[in-house]
A and B are shown apart, each in its own frame.
Chain A
Amino acid sequence: MIKHGFARGIALALVWGLAAAGAAAESKEAPAEIQLPPVPTHWKAEKPVGTSAGPVTPEMLNAPTTPPDRWIQYGGNYRNFRHSPLKSLTPESVKKLSVAWAFPTGTTGQFEASPVVYGGVMYVTSSYNRLFALDAKTGELLWRYDHKNGENLRLCCGPPNRGVAISGDLVIMGTLDAHLIAFQRKTGEIAWNVEVASYTAGYSITSAPLIVGELAIIGVAGGEYGVRGFFDAYDVKTGKKVWRHYTVPGKGEPGVESWAGDSYLRGGSPAWTYGAYDPETDTLFWTTGNPAPDWDGDGRAGDNLYSDSLLALEPKTGKMKWYFQFTPHDVWDYDGNTQLFLVDAKYEGKPRKLIVQANRNGFYYVLDRNDGKFLHASPYLEQVNWATIDATGRPVVNPDALPKEDAKFRTCPSNLGGMNGSFTGALNPDLGLAFIPSSEACQVFTKGIGAFKEGLPYLGGLPDTVDATAGKAYGNLAAIDVTTGKIKWRYRDDRPMMGGVLSTAGGVVISGNLEGEVLALDAKTGKVVWRFRSGGGLRSQPIAYQLDGRTYVAVPTGSFSTMDSFAAGVTKVPEGGTLFVFALPK
């Protein structure tokens, strides 16, 4: 099914060795250098694939429940529930899951993707921006693109990519060197390729884009490089930029007064994760990360708007409607960009449109999504000591927890959270429970001298990973009552839980751990009902789908040992990405 334009020349190296030995013996002349053909980086489909389905329309994306034969959004739907309508995946049936097929990515680093399935084809991205189109039933490789990222990438935390967006007949991927590339889903041909930002200035893209109408919305990472954060909207058909929303105000703009001096010029506040969309009110929700430098706030006195915030915007213009800042003047790296859930539920007896989030700072927040009014915050972790939250939603900071030059205090949570934007939770609307994976670890935050130079790390201090180094970091997957924040159950793991979550209408929660086990839990009790040892730490976002009546669960596996060590202590689990696709019996 795949074609590429290069002759196969693998045997040349062996031929070269034999010929060189003979030639050197006879003439003593140096052998001519044999030129191997360049390694292909793009294999297109020989004939169109996924033709059983038409273009992906806004109506399909707006649907509150996605048909089981597809998974077309990172969050499952615009509400980000990651909740499959499949009732076939129950606490009993998952025990019968077996491997239908597996696929290696050939790359190391975190395999963080949420696959997209449409028209019987799975589109999945690996670390370092490989994009594979696979037959979703058999795993046959249909087309492949290996992005050639620029040299000396500016990455804080590894080389992941969390997936593609799909719209019309295009699939769209952001890259570590800050490009956005659209591909014809049926052939793998590149439709357009735009540079979102100059990566040498500290920018990168790891997120899947979010499609709203005819726009692909994507944000950048770079909070550890003192960039000026932003997210953009691009015309899906042409790749033309429609608007840019900076997350740090410019000179004279509202909010710039919350930055001392000219610190706003390198204020970070990246928008490196995925948003949410409310079709009823035509509101886009996006979140922002830490102000820069991370651990020294002395030079940026003030609240540092709009870092660590939730923004509500008009999707057609990028104009802000309202904002809520979770962690004003952050000096811990508590990015505000964990997953958002849009929930319609009774709150204190009255129907209300809510937006909820388990924030990296350790608190679970409930807001009114029409106006951003703060309603509730409570710790969802077992260890939170950096602050309490007052009646307005503003943190009351524990002065012991502030970074110091000679710090000794164990501050909780760690700079990675709690939850983290690199992995997802899920939400079962029938049970009213959100399933949130998290890290339980504390750190000693030390303040130092940060030096800004474009394209170099701009940190200002460090989190001493005392718990991880001592082997005391552990993880939880918690079931949280959506409106009250109360913990219904916790599954505890020996290491931080840093893999994403899938929920099913059949009452199962599927995730995994850093030791390489894929786990299925009973959604009502948290009891583990099935385990599969994949061999690679789980950092991905599992999905489920059904084709020709057979139910599949796709789980990318493979982690990044540097981040694993940082989060949980040195690990023996090797890197290397493998996608496992499990199936229930026919």
Chain B
Amino acid sequence: MSRVALLLAVAALACKPPESPAAKYLRDPEAVNRGRLIFVGTCGAYCHSTHDVERDAPSLFDCEWKHGGSDTEIFASISNGIPNTRMPAWKGALPQGDEDIWKVIAYLRSASECKH
């Protein structure tokens, strides 16, 4: 490998964003299932549907995100809530803290059907 190619490869690696915890959990069926159970037990009764259905709260399974669709942005939405909506801040509220939020995101990714 030439020196230029090596530099390009290193640069590419350096530019690649670090993998989010959600992406890591996406490969772990147990973590995805825990994310599902938290969603079922905490988010999906009167607010978000567990199906791709719009209720009072938006569907979270259509890959369309009103407040940013990266893992980090979704993490922020769940952690901090959405002002002037019924979405509360969940930071510090789940049994395993931030890890549970990442597992919920992993579950949403696993169960979504992107239309675009």
Contacts and interface: CB of A to CB of B under 8 A. Distances in A.
A177 interface: no
B93 A456 contact: yes
B51 A449 contact: no
B61 interface: no
B42 to A, nearest CB: 6
B37 interface: yes
B50 interface: yes
- Which has the most chain A C-beta neighbours within 10 Å: B37, B44, B46? B46
Interface string B40-63: 111011110011010110000000
A296 B45 CA distance: 12
A295 B45 contact: yes
B55 A565 contact: yes
Interface size class of B (residues with CB under 8 A): 20 to 34
A152 B82 CA distance: 11
A19 interface: no
A225 to B, nearest CB: 11
A447 B40 CA distance: 7
Contacts of A69: none
Contacts of B23: none
Contacts of A152: 88
A449 B40 CA distance: 7
Contacts, number: 77
Interface of A is mostly: loop
Contacts of B56: 562
Interface residues of A, number: 29
Contacts of A447: 37, 40-41
A246 B94 CA distance: 28
B60 to A, nearest CB: 14
Contact of A562 (B45, B55, B95): B55
B38 interface: yes
A12 interface: no
Contacts of B88: 152, 455-457
B6 to A, nearest CB: 48
A294 B41 CA distance: 9
B92 A453 contact: yes
A112 B38 CA distance: 33
A461 interface: yes
A469 B45 contact: no
A462 B47 CA distance: 10
A443 to B, nearest CB: 11
Contacts of B42: 448-451, 457, 459
Contacts of B40: 405, 446-449, 461-462
A457 B46 contact: yes
A396 interface: no
B35 to A, nearest CB: 10
Contact of B41 (A449, A456, A463, A469): A449
B24 to A, nearest CB: 20
12 contacts: A152-B88, A156-B46, A448-B38, A448-B39, A449-B37, A451-B38, A456-B90, A461-B41, A462-B41, A464-B50, A566-B46, A566-B55
What 9 pairs across the A-B complex have the smallest Cβ distances? A448-B41, A448-B40, A453-B93, A562-B56, A462-B45, A449-B41, A448-B37, A450-B41, A449-B37
Given A451-B41, A469-B51, 10 more contacts: A224-B46, A293-B41, A405-B37, A446-B50, A447-B37, A448-B37, A450-B41, A451-B38, A456-B93, A457-B42
Interface of A: 152, 156-157, 224, 293-296, 405, 446-451, 453, 455-457, 459-464, 469, 562, 565-566
